[in-house]
Each structure stands twice: as C-alpha cells, then as structure tokens.
Amino acid sequence: MTPSRTAQALALLIPLALIGGALTSQYGFGLFPCEMCMWQRWPHYTAIVLAALSFVVAPARTPLVVLATLAIAVSGAIGAFHAGVEYDWWEGLTQCSTHFSGEGSALDRIMNAPVIRCDVAPWDLFGVSLAGWNAIFSLGGALVIAILLLKGRKT
C-alpha cells in the first residue's frame, strides 16, 4: 500500500475508532459526555465524511484527506484544551452540562438529570482522561497522516 493510500485509510479509521470508543463509553458504560466532549466529536464526524468521500471522489482524494486530517487535529486540540480544564491547568469556557433521560414529565427529567461537569474527568487510564486520550490519538494520528501524505507526494 502506498503512503498516500495508508494516509487515506488512517484518515477514516482514526476518527471511526475514536467515535466508536466515545459512543461505547456513553451507551455501553453510562459515561455521558459533557459539552466539551461533544465539541470533540463534531470534527471527528466531519473527518469521517471527508475521508469516506476521498474513497469515492478520486480527483479530490488528497485535498479531502488533508481536510480530514485537519478535522482530526482540531478534535485533538479541543481534547487538549478540555484535558487542561479537567486537570485545573486553566479555566474552561463552560461550567457544566447535563443529559436528560428517563421517564416522566419534562420537569421530572430535568430535576433528576445527572450534571455532567466539564472540569471533572469521569474516567481515566494511567492518569489520562478520555479528553487527554483523544488529544494524544488525534494529534498523533494527524501527524502520522500528514507525514504519510508528504511521503506519498515525494514518490
């Protein structure tokens, strides 16, 4: 596989895997996202669409992969900012958000909804929060894709 094709595949697989992990943690393990968690998802959704289009629209393959790579990097940058908020390195832009679920009237659902704070990591692995892992994988992945694209351009 050429470096450009590998970059194209990674531009699709990285955001798919990260969104898959986010949705699994939300719906499988009850880790509801805060507002900044949701902000990190939108660039990944965009990257998935752009990378998928790159497999269909051959003349625009490289520009679409480049745009997908930028979207992945944007999600990583948001993740880095969010991780900094969780670790109290700086103050966030929002205080908290909530998720409405359950039965009953709208007022009951609002009153019983869990408060999902943006400045508290609900889960971590080796001291790194989900936002931190998104930053690591997204920024690292975007860098690898960019290097592969440059390598493919030279060949």
Q: 39-76, pLDDT tens digit by residue?
A: 899 999 999 999 999 998 877 788 899 999 999 999 99
pLDDT of 98 above 60 = no
pLDDT of 9 above 90 = yes
Domains of the chain: 3-154 (1.20.1550)
Q: What is the pLDDT of residues 11-48, one digit of tens each?
A: 999 999 999 999 998 899 888 888 888 889 999 999 99
The residue written with tokens 């900012």 in the block is 81
